[in-house]
């Protein structure tokens, strides 16, 4: 469901380029098919008019690109932010990871995004996809046209959208939404209710598929270390491939822990995983625990907030007590 059209975004970009507010535009470039759009920086009007794209497959979170894009130039960059991107935007600002002065942010309402990867697993030989209201028409090479409800194709992370409200922007296109009751912890709770053996079997099954492509880490807007400990040959834990199931667990536990309190739950990790590992369920466990142990906290909701993991109170629960509360036994 596109709430704003490509033309609206394009015109806004052209207007801001023309009046000198910005010098460059971070947007999506059209691909070979309707679903394979690529983030790109457009330097001028012609490039924008030719290749700028905005459709229901423009799901990638732009915020992380701002780190590299603002570091290498003095030019001002226009970025389009969906509500979930705006949380990462704030979180990166909190961590002083990019220069706010060099960015002009335009908020774009979002009705949920589709995933090309998921769609292609449902439908064979997709040749074109068009969205009309809440219907999606998928043209195929050999099976004719198929029609779906938008809801049924909605990408997994959008099914538990936490917020339609932008928390950062210089200018907003369209109407802003509300923070939603997303039921995003339902799945975490389901796992918590299982026996330890069941949970172990579940995670062993999921994590054993990991191929250590590092896409989850490289796409994550919270993973912004200049050099990751897992890439450092002197760390003793550099593992380019998991030679033992321990290494898969180690990598994902440490990664989730390292972003705990900073993860905005944007869902990019699970979106990019080529092996469909529900990595967001690790991050959500930390978010849920943080909320229940130390009070509700949403990373990125505001700039400058102090993450619970670098904070304390004198009456925090003891670890043993916390574990009991962690799986709903208290």
Partner 1 sequence: MQVNEYKPLIVAFCCNWCSYAGADLAGNNRLNYPADVKIIRVPCSCRVNPMFILRAFQRGADGVILCGCHPGDCHYTSGNYYTRRRMALLFSMLDYLGIEKERTRVEWVSAAEGAKFAATMNDFVETVAALGENKRLEDLRCKK
Partner 2 sequence: MRKISLSKLPELFSAIAKTSALYLPVDTKAGAKFEAWAVGKTLSNALNTVRSAKDFFFPQTENLMDFKVEGKNIELIDTRKECEDFVLFGVRACDVKSFEVLDRVFLAEPQDTYYKNRREHALIISTACNKPQETCFCGTFGIDAAEPSGDIVTYRTDDELFFDAKTEKGKKLLDALSSITEEADEKAVDQQKALIRERLQKLPLKDLKTEGFGSGKTAEFFDDPQWKELSSACLGCGTCTFVCPTCQCYDIKDFDTGHGIKRFRCWDSCMYSDFTKMSAGQPRLTQLERFRQRFMHKLVYYPTNNDGLFSCVGCGRCLAKCPINMNIVKVMKALGGREDA
Residues that bind partner 2 (CB under 8 A): 31-33, 35-41, 60, 65, 116-117, 120-121, 124-127, 141-142, 209, 211-215, 217-219, 227, 231, 233, 238-243, 271-272, 274-277
Contact window for partner 1 (CB under 8 A) among 40-48, 172-180, 262-270, 290-298? 290-298
Question: Nearer to partner 2 by C-beta: 114 or 277?
Answer: 277
Q: How far is the CB of 256 from partner 2 (least distance, A)?
A: 17
Mapping DSSP to helix (H, G, I), strand (E, B) and coil, where does residue 164 land?
coil
Q: Is 287:263 a contact under the CB 8 Å cutoff?
A: yes
| Cα 238 to Cα 231: distance, rounded to the nearest angstrom | 5
C-alpha span between 202 and 195 (Å, rounded): 11
Q: Which of 60, 68, 79 is nearest to 12 (CA)?
A: 79
Does position 108 interact with partner 1 (CB under 8 A)? The reply is no
Binders in 211-270 for partner 1, by CB under 8 A? 229, 236-237, 243-244, 246-247, 249-250, 253-254, 256-257, 260
Position 82 contacts partner 1 (CB under 8 A): no
Query: What's the closest the beta carbon of residue 26 comes to partner 2, in angstroms?
Result: 10
Q: How far is CA 70 from CA 21, 67, 112, 223, 287, in A?
A: 15, 6, 28, 17, 29
Report the alpha-carbon distance of residue 236 to residue 254 in Å, rounded: 14
Q: Which of residues 148-207 bind partner 1 (CB under 8 A)?
A: 188, 191-192, 196-204
Q: How far is it, in rounded angstroms, from Cα 12 to Cα 257?
A: 39
Cβ 296 to partner 1, closest distance in Å? 15
Q: What are phi and psi of 223, to 5 degrees?
A: -90, 85
| 319 forms part of the interface with partner 1 (CB under 8 A) | yes
CA gap 125, 5 in Å, rounded: 26
Query: For partner 2, which is the closer residue by CB, 31 or 317?
Result: 31
Which residue, 33 or 293, is less far from partner 2 as judged by CB? 33
Cβ nearer to partner 2, comparing 42 with 169: 42
Instruction: Name which position in 131, 154, 282, 301 contacts partner 1 (CB under 8 A).
Output: 282
CA 49 to chain centroid: 27
40 contact choice in partner 2, partner 1, none (CB below 5 to 8 Å, kind-dependent): partner 2
Query: Residue 42 has which token pair?
Result: 């457009």
């Amino acid at each position: 469901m596109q709430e704003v059209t490509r033309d609206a975004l394009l015109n806004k970009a052209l207007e801001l380029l023309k009046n000198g507010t910005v010098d460059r535009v971070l947007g999506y470039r059209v691909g070979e098919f309707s679903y394979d759009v690529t983030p790109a920086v457009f330097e001028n009007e012609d490039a924008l008019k030719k290749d700028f794209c905005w459709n229901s497959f423009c799901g990638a979170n732009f915020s992380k690109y701002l780190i590299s894009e603002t570091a290498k130039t003095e030019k001002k960059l226009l970025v389009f932010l969906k509500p979930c991107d705006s949380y990462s935007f704030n979180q990166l600002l909190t961590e002083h990871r990019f220069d706010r002065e060099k960015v002009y942010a335009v908020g774009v309402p979002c009705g949920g995004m589709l995933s090309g990867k998921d769609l292609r697993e449902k439908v064979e030989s997709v040749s074109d996809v068009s969205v009309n209201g809440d219907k999606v028409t998928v043209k195929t090479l050999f099976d004719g046209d198929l029609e779906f409800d938008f809801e049924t194709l909605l990408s997994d992370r959008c099914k538990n959208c936490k917020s339609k409200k932008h928390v950062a922007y210089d200018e907003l296109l369209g109407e802003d939404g509300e923070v939603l009751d997303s039921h995003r912890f339902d799945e975490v709770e389901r796992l918590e209710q299982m026996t330890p053996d069941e949970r172990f079997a579940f995670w062993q099954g999921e994590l054993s598929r990991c191929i250590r492509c590092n896409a989850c880490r490289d796409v994550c807007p919270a993973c912004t270390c200049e050099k990751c400990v897992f890439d450092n040959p002197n760390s003793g834990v550099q593992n380019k491939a998991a030679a033992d199931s321990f290494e898969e667990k180690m990598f994902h536990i440490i990664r989730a822990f390292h972003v705990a309190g900073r993860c905005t739950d944007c869902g990019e990790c699970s979106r990019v995983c080529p092996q469909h590992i529900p990595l967001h369920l690790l991050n959500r466990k930390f978010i849920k625990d943080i909320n229940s142990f130390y009070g509700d906290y949403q990373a990125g909701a505001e700039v400058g907030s102090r993450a619970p993991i670098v904070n304390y109170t004198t009456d925090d629960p003891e670890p043993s007590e916390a574990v009991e509360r962690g799986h709903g036994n208290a």
